Chain A
Amino acid sequence: MYKFMNEIIKIMNQHIKGSLNAIVLKLLADNGRMYGYEITQKVKELTSDEIQITEGALYPLLHKLEAEEILTTKAEKVDGRVRKYYEITPKGNEVAHFRISELAAFAENLNRILNPKSATI
Protein backbone atom coordinates (compact mmCIF):
# COMPACT_ATOMS: atom_id res chain seq x y z
CA MET A 1 0.00 0.00 0.00
CA TYR A 2 2.83 2.37 0.94
CA LYS A 3 4.57 1.64 -2.36
CA PHE A 4 1.35 2.39 -4.18
CA MET A 5 1.03 5.73 -2.39
CA ASN A 6 4.56 6.63 -3.40
CA GLU A 7 3.68 5.88 -7.02
CA ILE A 8 0.66 8.14 -6.78
CA ILE A 9 2.73 10.98 -5.34
CA LYS A 10 5.24 10.55 -8.16
CA ILE A 11 2.51 10.72 -10.79
CA MET A 12 0.96 13.65 -9.00
CA ASN A 13 4.27 15.51 -9.04
CA GLN A 14 4.49 14.97 -12.78
CA HIS A 15 1.04 16.43 -13.27
CA ILE A 16 1.92 19.30 -10.97
CA LYS A 17 4.86 20.17 -13.17
CA GLY A 18 2.55 20.33 -16.14
CA SER A 19 0.06 22.56 -14.40
CA LEU A 20 2.54 24.58 -12.39
CA ASN A 21 1.75 27.82 -14.12
CA ALA A 22 -1.92 27.50 -13.18
CA ILE A 23 -0.92 26.91 -9.56
CA VAL A 24 1.38 29.91 -9.49
CA LEU A 25 -1.25 32.10 -11.12
CA LYS A 26 -3.87 30.91 -8.63
CA LEU A 27 -1.57 31.76 -5.72
CA LEU A 28 -0.86 35.20 -7.12
CA ALA A 29 -4.54 35.81 -7.82
CA ASP A 30 -5.39 34.94 -4.21
CA ASN A 31 -2.52 36.72 -2.48
CA GLY A 32 -2.06 39.77 -4.66
CA ARG A 33 1.67 39.99 -4.90
CA MET A 34 4.37 37.54 -3.86
CA TYR A 35 8.09 37.01 -4.23
CA GLY A 36 9.82 33.85 -5.46
CA TYR A 37 10.79 32.38 -2.10
CA GLU A 38 7.35 33.07 -0.69
CA ILE A 39 5.73 31.10 -3.52
CA THR A 40 7.85 27.98 -2.94
CA GLN A 41 7.12 28.12 0.77
CA LYS A 42 3.42 28.69 0.28
CA VAL A 43 3.09 25.67 -1.99
CA LYS A 44 4.96 23.49 0.49
CA GLU A 45 2.80 24.76 3.31
CA LEU A 46 -0.51 24.27 1.48
CA THR A 47 0.26 20.71 0.43
CA SER A 48 1.94 19.77 3.71
CA ASP A 49 5.31 19.20 2.00
CA GLU A 50 3.99 16.59 -0.42
CA ILE A 51 4.31 18.71 -3.51
CA GLN A 52 7.73 20.18 -4.03
CA ILE A 53 8.10 23.10 -6.35
CA THR A 54 11.80 23.27 -6.99
CA GLU A 55 13.56 26.54 -7.68
CA GLY A 56 14.62 25.07 -11.02
CA ALA A 57 10.98 24.85 -12.06
CA LEU A 58 9.64 27.98 -10.43
CA TYR A 59 12.02 30.74 -11.50
CA PRO A 60 12.13 29.86 -15.19
CA LEU A 61 8.33 29.80 -15.10
CA LEU A 62 8.06 33.17 -13.36
CA HIS A 63 10.53 34.68 -15.81
CA LYS A 64 8.63 33.23 -18.74
CA LEU A 65 5.33 34.61 -17.49
CA GLU A 66 7.02 37.97 -16.94
CA ALA A 67 8.39 38.01 -20.48
CA GLU A 68 4.93 37.15 -21.79
CA GLU A 69 3.59 40.10 -19.77
CA ILE A 70 1.22 37.93 -17.80
CA LEU A 71 3.10 38.98 -14.68
CA THR A 72 4.72 42.25 -13.82
CA THR A 73 7.42 42.87 -11.25
CA LYS A 74 8.18 45.56 -8.75
CA ALA A 75 11.39 45.89 -6.82
CA GLU A 76 11.21 47.03 -3.24
CA LYS A 77 13.78 47.43 -0.52
CA VAL A 78 13.21 45.04 2.36
CA ASP A 79 15.77 44.59 5.16
CA GLY A 80 18.41 46.43 3.16
CA ARG A 81 18.12 44.22 0.10
CA VAL A 82 16.04 44.45 -3.02
CA ARG A 83 13.07 42.11 -3.18
CA LYS A 84 11.29 41.40 -6.43
CA TYR A 85 7.53 41.06 -6.17
CA TYR A 86 5.42 39.42 -8.86
CA GLU A 87 1.91 40.54 -9.65
CA ILE A 88 -0.66 39.59 -12.32
CA THR A 89 -1.09 42.28 -14.97
CA PRO A 90 -4.55 43.34 -16.19
CA LYS A 91 -3.70 41.64 -19.47
CA GLY A 92 -2.61 38.52 -17.60
CA ASN A 93 -5.84 38.36 -15.61
CA GLU A 94 -7.72 36.76 -18.45
CA VAL A 95 -5.00 34.19 -19.05
CA ALA A 96 -4.81 33.46 -15.35
CA HIS A 97 -8.55 32.98 -15.15
CA PHE A 98 -8.52 30.62 -18.12
CA ARG A 99 -5.63 28.52 -16.86
CA ILE A 100 -7.05 28.23 -13.37
CA SER A 101 -10.45 27.11 -14.65
CA GLU A 102 -8.70 24.65 -16.99
CA LEU A 103 -6.89 23.12 -14.03
CA ALA A 104 -10.10 22.97 -12.00
CA ALA A 105 -11.89 21.19 -14.86
CA PHE A 106 -9.02 18.73 -15.14
CA ALA A 107 -9.10 17.98 -11.41
CA GLU A 108 -12.86 17.54 -11.55
CA ASN A 109 -12.65 15.12 -14.46
CA LEU A 110 -9.94 13.15 -12.72
CA ASN A 111 -12.05 12.97 -9.61
CA ARG A 112 -15.04 11.76 -11.62
CA ILE A 113 -12.98 8.96 -13.13
CA LEU A 114 -11.39 7.91 -9.86
CA ASN A 115 -14.58 8.13 -7.78
CA PRO A 116 -17.50 7.41 -10.10
CA LYS A 117 -19.89 7.02 -7.13
CA SER A 118 -19.28 10.36 -5.49
CA ALA A 119 -19.67 12.10 -8.79
CA THR A 120 -23.13 10.67 -9.43
CA ILE A 121 -24.53 11.74 -6.06
Chain B
Amino acid sequence: MKLNASQIETIEYYLLSWELKYKDFYDEILDHYCTDIESQMKAGLTFDDAFDKTNQLFSKYYYAKFIRFKEPLNHYGPKAFEAEYVDGYRKTFKAKLKNHFFDIFRTYQIGFLGALVIYFYYFFSNNVFLSTTLLMAILYLPSIIILILMTREHSKEGFAWSWKSIFFTQENDINHKRSKLFRNVKIGVLQEFFLLPITLMPFYVPLLMNVNKFFNGYLSSELKTLILSLFYIYFGIVLKLLLESVNSWNLLKFK
Protein backbone atom coordinates (compact mmCIF):
# COMPACT_ATOMS: atom_id res chain seq x y z
CA MET B 1 0.00 0.00 0.00
CA LYS B 2 1.47 3.27 -1.11
CA LEU B 3 1.39 6.38 1.04
CA ASN B 4 -0.38 9.38 -0.40
CA ALA B 5 1.13 12.84 -0.66
CA SER B 6 -0.43 14.25 2.48
CA GLN B 7 0.69 11.27 4.55
CA ILE B 8 4.24 11.72 3.33
CA GLU B 9 3.98 15.40 4.17
CA THR B 10 2.92 14.52 7.72
CA ILE B 11 6.07 12.44 8.11
CA GLU B 12 8.18 15.20 6.62
CA TYR B 13 6.74 17.80 8.98
CA TYR B 14 7.51 15.53 11.91
CA LEU B 15 11.07 14.83 10.83
CA LEU B 16 11.86 18.45 9.99
CA SER B 17 10.59 19.49 13.42
CA TRP B 18 13.66 17.71 14.81
CA GLU B 19 15.81 20.39 13.21
CA LEU B 20 17.79 18.05 11.05
CA LYS B 21 20.58 19.66 9.11
CA TYR B 22 21.66 17.25 6.42
CA LYS B 23 19.79 16.20 3.34
CA ASP B 24 21.39 12.79 2.88
CA PHE B 25 20.49 11.72 6.40
CA TYR B 26 17.02 13.19 6.07
CA ASP B 27 16.40 11.28 2.84
CA GLU B 28 17.55 8.07 4.45
CA ILE B 29 15.35 8.34 7.53
CA LEU B 30 12.36 9.51 5.48
CA ASP B 31 12.71 6.47 3.26
CA HIS B 32 12.90 4.21 6.33
CA TYR B 33 9.75 5.77 7.78
CA CYS B 34 7.83 5.49 4.52
CA THR B 35 8.87 1.90 3.81
CA ASP B 36 8.19 0.78 7.37
CA ILE B 37 4.78 2.45 7.52
CA GLU B 38 3.80 1.11 4.11
CA SER B 39 4.63 -2.45 5.12
CA GLN B 40 2.71 -2.10 8.39
CA MET B 41 -0.30 -0.68 6.58
CA LYS B 42 -0.15 -3.66 4.26
CA ALA B 43 -0.51 -5.84 7.37
CA GLY B 44 -3.72 -3.98 8.25
CA LEU B 45 -2.71 -1.11 10.54
CA THR B 46 -4.01 2.40 10.05
CA PHE B 47 -1.58 5.15 9.08
CA ASP B 48 -1.63 6.75 12.54
CA ASP B 49 -0.91 3.50 14.36
CA ALA B 50 1.85 2.59 11.95
CA PHE B 51 3.36 6.06 12.24
CA ASP B 52 3.35 5.80 16.04
CA LYS B 53 4.99 2.41 15.91
CA THR B 54 7.74 3.56 13.60
CA ASN B 55 8.27 6.65 15.72
CA GLN B 56 8.98 4.48 18.71
CA LEU B 57 11.91 2.90 16.90
CA PHE B 58 13.65 6.23 16.56
CA SER B 59 12.37 8.52 19.30
CA LYS B 60 13.94 6.54 22.15
CA TYR B 61 17.44 6.92 20.81
CA TYR B 62 19.83 9.10 22.73
CA TYR B 63 23.28 10.40 21.96
CA ALA B 64 25.52 12.62 24.04
CA LYS B 65 28.37 14.55 22.57
CA PHE B 66 31.15 15.16 25.03
CA ILE B 67 33.01 18.42 24.78
CA ARG B 68 36.05 19.18 26.85
CA PHE B 69 35.44 21.50 29.80
CA LYS B 70 31.75 21.82 28.95
CA GLU B 71 28.46 20.14 29.67
CA PRO B 72 27.80 17.32 27.20
CA LEU B 73 25.41 18.12 24.35
CA ASN B 74 22.45 15.79 24.53
CA HIS B 75 20.51 14.75 21.47
CA TYR B 76 17.35 12.70 21.28
CA GLY B 77 15.36 10.95 18.58
CA PRO B 78 16.26 11.32 14.90
CA LYS B 79 18.53 14.25 15.71
CA ALA B 80 20.65 11.91 17.84
CA PHE B 81 21.25 9.66 14.83
CA GLU B 82 22.36 12.64 12.79
CA ALA B 83 24.60 14.02 15.52
CA GLU B 84 26.35 10.69 15.89
CA TYR B 85 26.76 10.45 12.11
CA VAL B 86 28.37 13.89 11.99
CA ASP B 87 30.66 13.06 14.89
CA GLY B 88 31.80 9.87 13.19
CA TYR B 89 32.96 11.88 10.20
CA ARG B 90 34.66 14.41 12.46
CA LYS B 91 36.68 11.64 14.05
CA THR B 92 37.59 10.12 10.69
CA PHE B 93 38.71 13.44 9.26
CA LYS B 94 40.78 14.27 12.31
CA ALA B 95 42.54 10.93 11.97
CA LYS B 96 43.01 11.54 8.24
CA LEU B 97 44.49 14.97 8.82
CA LYS B 98 47.02 13.42 11.16
CA ASN B 99 47.88 10.62 8.73
CA HIS B 100 48.20 12.93 5.74
CA PHE B 101 50.36 15.27 7.76
CA PHE B 102 52.90 12.56 8.49
CA ASP B 103 52.61 11.24 4.94
CA ILE B 104 54.00 14.50 3.61
CA PHE B 105 57.29 13.76 5.27
CA ARG B 106 57.43 10.28 3.80
CA THR B 107 56.73 11.04 0.15
CA TYR B 108 57.99 13.23 -2.70
CA GLN B 109 55.80 16.03 -1.35
CA ILE B 110 58.63 16.86 1.00
CA GLY B 111 60.41 18.43 -2.00
CA PHE B 112 57.46 20.66 -2.78
CA LEU B 113 57.19 21.60 0.86
CA GLY B 114 60.86 22.48 0.95
CA ALA B 115 60.41 24.87 -1.98
CA LEU B 116 57.43 26.41 -0.24
CA VAL B 117 59.34 26.90 2.99
CA ILE B 118 62.08 28.72 1.09
CA TYR B 119 59.44 30.92 -0.49
CA PHE B 120 57.88 31.73 2.87
CA TYR B 121 61.25 32.46 4.38
CA TYR B 122 62.02 34.82 1.52
CA PHE B 123 58.65 36.47 2.05
CA PHE B 124 59.20 37.03 5.73
CA SER B 125 62.68 38.34 5.41
CA ASN B 126 61.67 40.82 2.67
CA ASN B 127 58.14 41.82 3.58
CA VAL B 128 56.92 41.71 0.04
CA PHE B 129 53.27 42.67 -0.36
CA LEU B 130 53.04 40.90 -3.69
CA SER B 131 53.81 37.51 -2.22
CA THR B 132 50.92 37.80 0.22
CA THR B 133 48.50 38.68 -2.51
CA LEU B 134 49.78 35.78 -4.55
CA LEU B 135 49.38 33.43 -1.62
CA MET B 136 45.84 34.62 -1.08
CA ALA B 137 44.99 34.27 -4.74
CA ILE B 138 46.32 30.72 -4.75
CA LEU B 139 44.47 29.60 -1.62
CA TYR B 140 41.50 31.85 -1.22
CA LEU B 141 39.78 32.07 -4.59
CA PRO B 142 39.55 28.33 -5.37
CA SER B 143 38.33 27.71 -1.84
CA ILE B 144 35.48 30.15 -2.27
CA ILE B 145 34.45 28.51 -5.53
CA ILE B 146 34.44 25.11 -3.85
CA LEU B 147 32.45 26.41 -0.90
CA ILE B 148 29.78 27.83 -3.18
CA LEU B 149 29.63 24.58 -5.13
CA MET B 150 29.20 22.58 -1.95
CA THR B 151 26.18 24.43 -0.66
CA ARG B 152 24.21 23.89 -3.82
CA GLU B 153 20.98 22.06 -3.49
CA HIS B 154 19.86 19.44 -5.97
CA SER B 155 16.45 19.47 -7.51
CA LYS B 156 14.66 17.65 -10.29
CA GLU B 157 15.97 20.06 -12.89
CA GLY B 158 19.55 19.45 -11.82
CA PHE B 159 21.23 22.05 -9.70
CA ALA B 160 19.36 25.01 -8.42
CA TRP B 161 20.58 27.34 -5.80
CA SER B 162 19.40 30.83 -5.21
CA TRP B 163 19.51 33.47 -2.56
CA LYS B 164 15.80 33.87 -3.07
CA SER B 165 15.12 30.53 -1.44
CA ILE B 166 17.02 31.63 1.63
CA PHE B 167 15.49 35.08 2.14
CA PHE B 168 12.03 35.16 0.64
CA THR B 169 10.22 32.14 1.97
CA GLN B 170 8.19 31.74 5.10
CA GLU B 171 9.78 30.02 8.05
CA ASN B 172 7.04 27.43 8.41
CA ASP B 173 6.99 26.49 4.78
CA ILE B 174 7.94 22.83 4.47
CA ASN B 175 9.67 23.46 1.14
CA HIS B 176 11.76 26.14 2.73
CA LYS B 177 12.76 23.90 5.61
CA ARG B 178 13.59 21.15 3.17
CA SER B 179 15.67 23.45 1.00
CA LYS B 180 17.66 24.55 4.02
CA LEU B 181 19.00 21.06 4.57
CA PHE B 182 22.66 20.78 3.79
CA ARG B 183 23.38 18.35 1.01
CA ASN B 184 25.72 15.85 2.60
CA VAL B 185 27.08 15.03 6.06
CA LYS B 186 30.57 14.27 4.79
CA ILE B 187 30.91 17.53 2.90
CA GLY B 188 29.29 19.44 5.72
CA VAL B 189 31.84 18.24 8.25
CA LEU B 190 34.70 18.99 5.89
CA GLN B 191 33.33 22.46 5.45
CA GLU B 192 33.56 22.93 9.22
CA PHE B 193 37.26 22.15 9.03
CA PHE B 194 37.61 24.59 6.18
CA LEU B 195 35.19 27.40 6.78
CA LEU B 196 36.59 29.19 9.78
CA PRO B 197 40.23 29.47 8.73
CA ILE B 198 39.18 30.40 5.20
CA THR B 199 36.70 33.09 6.13
CA LEU B 200 39.17 34.63 8.53
CA MET B 201 41.91 34.65 5.94
CA PRO B 202 41.44 38.22 4.60
CA PHE B 203 41.81 39.34 8.19
CA TYR B 204 44.74 37.36 9.35
CA VAL B 205 46.95 37.53 6.28
CA PRO B 206 47.27 41.35 6.41
CA LEU B 207 47.49 41.00 10.16
CA LEU B 208 50.30 38.55 9.70
CA MET B 209 52.06 41.11 7.53
CA ASN B 210 51.61 43.85 10.08
CA VAL B 211 52.75 41.58 12.83
CA ASN B 212 55.68 40.78 10.63
CA LYS B 213 56.51 44.46 10.28
CA PHE B 214 55.90 45.18 13.92
CA PHE B 215 57.86 42.28 15.27
CA ASN B 216 60.62 42.70 12.77
CA GLY B 217 63.58 41.51 14.65
CA TYR B 218 61.58 40.13 17.59
CA LEU B 219 60.02 37.01 16.18
CA SER B 220 62.51 35.21 14.01
CA SER B 221 61.74 34.63 10.34
CA GLU B 222 62.36 30.96 10.89
CA LEU B 223 59.57 30.70 13.43
CA LYS B 224 57.17 32.64 11.25
CA THR B 225 58.07 30.44 8.32
CA LEU B 226 57.31 27.39 10.41
CA ILE B 227 53.90 28.72 11.46
CA LEU B 228 52.88 29.63 7.93
CA SER B 229 54.10 26.30 6.59
CA LEU B 230 51.96 24.45 9.12
CA PHE B 231 48.99 26.56 8.05
CA TYR B 232 49.65 25.76 4.45
CA ILE B 233 49.94 22.04 5.13
CA TYR B 234 46.62 22.06 6.98
CA PHE B 235 44.87 23.81 4.10
CA GLY B 236 46.49 21.55 1.56
CA ILE B 237 45.26 18.42 3.31
CA VAL B 238 41.72 19.68 3.84
CA LEU B 239 41.55 20.79 0.24
CA LYS B 240 42.72 17.35 -0.87
CA LEU B 241 40.09 15.62 1.27
CA LEU B 242 37.48 17.98 -0.13
CA LEU B 243 38.39 17.29 -3.71
CA GLU B 244 38.33 13.56 -3.00
CA SER B 245 34.81 13.89 -1.60
CA VAL B 246 33.62 15.97 -4.50
CA ASN B 247 34.97 13.32 -6.84
CA SER B 248 33.20 10.52 -5.09
CA TRP B 249 30.05 12.54 -4.92
CA ASN B 250 27.51 11.13 -7.33
CA LEU B 251 26.62 14.39 -8.98
CA LEU B 252 23.34 14.49 -10.87
CA LYS B 253 22.97 10.76 -10.73
CA PHE B 254 19.37 10.65 -9.61
CA LYS B 255 17.41 8.55 -12.04
Contacts and interface: CB of A to CB of B under 8 A. Distances in A.
Interface of A: 35-37, 54-56, 59-60, 63-64, 66-69, 72-79, 81-84
B222 interface: no
A79 to B, nearest CB: 7
22 contacts: A35-B31, A36-B28, A36-B31, A37-B32, A54-B57, A55-B58, A56-B58, A60-B88, A63-B84, A66-B88, A67-B88, A67-B91, A67-B92, A73-B24, A74-B250, A74-B253, A75-B24, A75-B254, A79-B2, A79-B34, A82-B30, A83-B27
B85 interface: yes
A74 B249 CA distance: 9
Contacts of A84: 24, 27-28, 31
A-B pairs, 8 with minimum CB distance: A82-B27, A67-B88, A63-B85, A67-B92, A56-B61, A84-B28, A37-B35, A55-B57
Interface of B: 2, 8, 24, 27-28, 30-32, 34-36, 57-58, 60-61, 81, 84-85, 88-89, 91-92, 185-186, 248, 250, 253-255
B31 A82 contact: yes
A64 B27 CA distance: 18
A81 B61 contact: no
Given A54-B57, A74-B250, 8 more contacts: A37-B31, A37-B36, A56-B58, A56-B60, A56-B61, A59-B81, A82-B31, A83-B27
A35 B84 CA distance: 19
